[in-house]
Amino acid sequence: MTSKTNITIREIADALANDEFVFYYQPKVSMHTGEICGAEALIRWQRPNGEMISPAEFIPLAESTGFINEITLAMFQKLIVDLNIIIDINESLIVSFNASAKDFHNNKLSTTIQHAVEHHLLAAKHLEVELTETVILDQVEEVRDNLSLLHDLGIALAMDDYGTGFSSIDTLSKWPFSTIKLDQGMVSKLGTSEKDFTIIHSSIQMAHQLELEIVAEGIETEVVYRILQNMGCVIAQGYWISRPVSLVDFIEFCRRNKCWPSQSNGVIHMAILDHIQWRKSLIDGVYYISLRRNIQGLRGTPEINPTLCKFGKWYHGLGRRCAGEKWYDEIETPHNRLHEIGEELLVAAQRNAPQNEIALLMRQLTEQSILVIGMLQSVENELMTKSKA
Ligand code: C2E
Ligand code: CA
Ligand code: CA
């Protein structure tokens, strides 16, 4: 891509009128399955002489002048066309689209998207909108209404460049994000900066606890890919997988059905942490009942159904790929038993059972929890050894 200095807003407007903006697509890969799961649409200015201009050269000027609204609306129409071609090739793909702060200061973009979804020009499940936190910091009420509209339509919202803002956690808790996208600057320094390593590791764990999807962008090497996979990151994007490519090349890319390393190690690690957390919230629950507080109203009450806890959902969903492996088949019964003891304990607490009965159940819970976590740790070791072999 070339760098053109002194671009004027007039040239940008002419380029839009002459249909010189196109989308390039950068593939995203599921680290669980190793398969392509989507792409990010990234704008390019393709001049008639073949020169290609990067968004960094014109998006900031378009944003500061407000012309970005025109570009976004025009590009959304192109996205609809491209997206339908893409899902004809692979029905499971999700394409993300970048929006700017100003795109949510009025309802034009959100109502255009709503119209497209309601008229079946695209299915909400195939679209994700990426926003940086600055979108939210100004004109809060308008932005909130427009984002809520998208959320209610079933469109995923990703917080872009996560880790660079000042109030990311606060924003996450107040806005309807379904995905966080780790900033590529932090990701690229993962192998060399201890601070970035720690921020990324804890961000992945937090996303998991909040049941948010987590994407890492800027993955340039296999080492970074594998570190993130081990940490439990779910979706990968970066030059190591592919640079952004034209629609034609992206379709070719999808058709090749290439696979990247898939591994359950990150999921197993998360399951260990989840079950430590699960046992703690269960014991807290028993304590709160003994204080005569209503458990239904407490946040963090553990999931009793073993198919619905975070590990259970994975086990009966994506994890089925491991069916037939010894550890997979062996862990179901002890895991179910752990949940049964948990339920017995809550029921005993609710009927105000004698202390010795509660103490016995607590001991059984701890023993069963140690057994399940021990099994998970053995699997983690085994997978780690296999991936090094
Ligand atoms: P972004 O949304 O953070 O997009 C990711 C940028 O990182 C893209 O640059 C992508 O090509 C680049 N990238 C991806 N993987 C790697 C990697 O492994 N290493 C390195 N060094 N870079 C990687 P691009 O396409 O130049 O876009 C730059 C920015 O321009 C985007 O940052 C986004 O903020 C903006 N942009 C792009 N397309 C659009 C659009 O359609 N609308 C709006 N409003 N902004 C856009
Ligand atoms: Ca983006
Ligand atoms: Ca980004």
pLDDT tens-digit map of 44-78? 999 999 999 999 999 999 999 999 999 999 999 99
Q: Please check the confidence at residue 204 and state whether its pLDDT lies above 60.
A: yes
How far is Cα 327 from Cα 160, in angstroms, rounded to an integer? Answer: 37
pLDDT of residue 389: 52
pLDDT of residue 321: 84
Higher pLDDT, 119 or 385: 119
Strands 36-46 and 156-162: unpaired
Categorize the per-residue pLDDT at 227 as very low, low, confident or very high, splitting at 50, 70 and 90: very high
The average pLDDT across 158-170 equals 82
Dist. CA 136 → ligand 1 center (Å): 20
pLDDT of residue 373: 95
pLDDT of residue 137: 67
Higher pLDDT, 175 or 252: 252
Categorize the per-residue pLDDT at 300 as very low, low, confident or very high, splitting at 50, 70 and 90: low
What residue spans of the chain are helical by DSSP H? 9-17, 55-65, 68-89, 108-118, 134-137, 140-153, 168-174, 184-188, 194-209, 222-231, 247-255, 265-290, 310-316, 326-350, 355-388
Contact 213, 179 (CB under 8 A): yes
pTM for this prediction: 0.90
Categorize the per-residue pLDDT at 293 as very low, low, confident or very high, splitting at 50, 70 and 90: low
Contact 291, 252 (CB under 8 A): no
DSSP class of 5? -
Ligand 1, closest atom to CA 97?
41
Dist. CA 211 → ligand 3 center (Å): 20
Ligand 1, atom 16, lies closest to the CA of 218
Ligand 1, closest atom to CA 68?
44
pLDDT of residue 290: 76
Categorize the per-residue pLDDT at 112 as very low, low, confident or very high, splitting at 50, 70 and 90: very high
Ligand 1, closest atom to CA 217?
15
Q: Which residues line ligand 1 (CB under 6 A)?
A: 26, 42-43, 54-56, 59, 68, 75, 98, 100, 130, 160-161, 184, 217-220, 238-239, 244
- The ligand placed nearest to the CA atom of residue 41 is 1
Dist. CA 237 → ligand 1 center (Å): 11
Dist. CA 133 → ligand 1 center (Å): 16
* Residue 204 φ then ψ, to 5°: -65, -45
Dist. CA 309 → ligand 3 center (Å): 31
pLDDT of residue 93: 98
- Kindly report the number of other CB atoms within 10 A of residue 321's CB atom: 13
Dist. CA 185 → ligand 3 center (Å): 9
Ligand 1, atom 22, lies closest to the CA of 218
Q: Which residues, 6 or more positions from 148, have their beta carbon under 8 angstroms from its beta carbon? A: 176
The average pLDDT across 144-154 equals 94
Ligand 1, atom 17, lies closest to the CA of 218
How far is Cα 283 from Cα 341, in angstroms, rounded to an integer? Answer: 12
